[in-house]
Amino acid sequence: MICCLNCFKDIHIKDIIETLDKKGNCDVCGKMETYIYDTDEPSVDLIQLFDGLLDTYKPLSNLPSNFPKEKLDILRNELFENWNIFNLEKEKIIFLLKNICKQKYDESPNIFDELVGIDEFQDENYVLENSLLKSYTWEDFVKGIRNENRFHTNYFNLDIFNSFLKYAQKSYEKGTTFYRARISDAGGLEKNKMGAPPLDIASDGRVNASGISCLYLSKLSETTIHEIRAGAHDFVTIGSFRLKEDISIVNLMNLHQISPFSTIDDIDFLQHAINRRHLEKIGNEIAKPLRRQDSPLDYLPTQYISDFIKSKGYQGIEYKSTMHVGGKNLAIFNEDLLECIDVYVEKINGVNYSHLPEPFE
């Protein structure tokens, strides 16, 4: 059977297929004249990667009798919902995988056909050592850092988190431009007024605690306008900031979609699997828009995570904008890494609102 580059999202799988340097038409997704992989001419590298991932799971017949039923699912659903590997409809995934891993299917067909689960998730010692939140939930972590121990919480496994940060490292080169917006009058603000707030008036934010200054920027000027929630007829000063040197930041936008086939550190398939939901939660919490009614205590969990990232020598954090679809925001820990090179003023002519009904209680 012929599959192709387009059948996958994972960059490591795509690289293997492209390296084979064969082109043709795909039997699975229908893509024409693209890099292909013929399962009748197998690549040992590709098979080993998928066999390793499949070894993470055990079929129901091989799991303990007390294994929680809610933790069981068919392999097709697991791969579609929990791993960012395939660029296919759910129904095609197992069909393709059976062809790629023919020997595995011949030897262990029950993995493909039965309900499956991950036995280690029920091992208390394994969870304590390998889960970001150990045996706790995110809600436990939030409560602990708010009400129990703020600076040295026992709810978070920092060593495991540090290993994942290496996968999420991203570089920006000297000269890269970012933007920052502030509501102003028609005359606008000068360049020296567009930086981070002074330490004595720096208030709590999702990345910085009160008294710690942080420069919040966006990749697009339009995103900055959404982020400050400018209203109709407001005047907005937009500053262009240019990097003075190369920087290394942590990209939290797709932290939970890190390839399980990466080899930067010693994170294995099981550690990827047990932490994907935690990593997704962290990315979403960092990106969550600030509300007028929020208490500074609401920011403590993400401030704790951000402080750890800063302590590891990274210059900032990148996270998605929930105010502007497709937008990217950055929080830079040291504003001296950038200079404001230009400012201009825009008037907001109108604002489009969208809303979702809140459930009635």
Q: Give per-residue pLDDT as tens, 235-266.
A: 999 999 999 999 999 999 877 777 888 765 57
Please check whether residue 207 is in contact with residue 214, taking contact to mean a CB–CB distance below 8 angstroms.
yes
Say what the pLDDT of residue 206 is: 84
Alpha-carbon distance 352 to 201, whole Å?
32
Could you count the other beta carbons within 10 Å of the beta carbon of residue 71? 14
Q: Which residue has the higher pLDDT, 350 or 325?
A: 325
What average pLDDT does range 266-288 have in this prediction? 87
Could you count the other beta carbons within 10 Å of the beta carbon of residue 5? 20
Angle at 123 between CA 117 and CA 125, to 5 degrees: 150
Q: Tell me the pLDDT of the chain averaged across its residues.
A: 89
Alpha-carbon distance 14 to 2, whole Å?
14
Alpha-carbon distance 96 to 2, whole Å?
9
Please check whether residue 196 is in contact with residue 335, taking contact to mean a CB–CB distance below 8 angstroms.
yes
Would strands 247-251 and 316-320 be described as parallel, antiparallel, or unpaired?
A: parallel
pLDDT band per the 50, 70, 90 thresholds, residue 357: low
Say what the pLDDT of residue 84 is: 85
pLDDT band per the 50, 70, 90 thresholds, residue 359: very low
Task: Give the SS3 label for residue 106.
Answer: helix
Say what the pLDDT of residue 319 is: 92
Say what the pLDDT of residue 262 is: 73
Alpha-carbon distance 16 to 337, whole Å?
38
Say what the pLDDT of residue 255 is: 77
In this prediction the pTM is 0.84
pLDDT band per the 50, 70, 90 thresholds, residue 17: very high
What average pLDDT does range 269-298 have in this prediction? 84
Say what the pLDDT of residue 134 is: 94
In this structure, of 95-109, 111-125, 280-294, the range with the lowest mean pLDDT score is: 280-294
For residue range 166-208, list pLDDT tens digits in order: 888 999 999 999 999 999 999 999 999 999 888 877 788 888 8
Say what the pLDDT of residue 360 is: 40
Q: Can you list the pairs that 129-136 forms with residues at least 24 positions away whose Cβ atoms lie under 8 Å?
A: 129/157, 130/157, 130/160, 130/270, 130/271, 130/274, 130/275, 131/157, 131/160, 131/274, 131/275, 131/278, 132/156, 132/157, 132/160, 132/161, 132/164, 132/275, 132/278, 132/279, 133/157, 133/278
pLDDT exceeds 90 at position 348? no
In this structure, of 89-98, 144-153, 225-234, 348-357, the range with the lowest mean pLDDT score is: 348-357
Alpha-carbon distance 275 to 122, whole Å?
14
- β strands within 197-244, DSSP E: 215-218, 235-243
Q: Which residue has the higher pLDDT, 230 or 355?
A: 230
In this structure, of 99-108, 328-337, 342-351, the range with the lowest mean pLDDT score is: 342-351
Alpha-carbon distance 205 to 223, whole Å?
18
Task: Give the SS3 label for residue 88.
Answer: coil
What average pLDDT does range 29-40 have in this prediction? 95
Angle at 357 between CA 352 and CA 361, to 5 degrees: 150
pLDDT band per the 50, 70, 90 thresholds, residue 310: very high
pLDDT band per the 50, 70, 90 thresholds, residue 126: very high
- In one-letter notation, the amino acid at residue 28 is V
| Residue 216 structure tokens | 């919040």
Of 196, 191, 199, whose CA–CA distance to 214 is shortest?
196
In this structure, of 33-47, 99-113, 265-279, the range with the lowest mean pLDDT score is: 265-279
Task: Spell out the residues 6+ positions from residue 276 whose beta carbon is closer than 8 angstroms to its own.
Answer: 82, 83, 256
Say what the pLDDT of residue 248 is: 97
Could you count the other beta carbons within 10 Å of the beta carbon of residue 107? 9
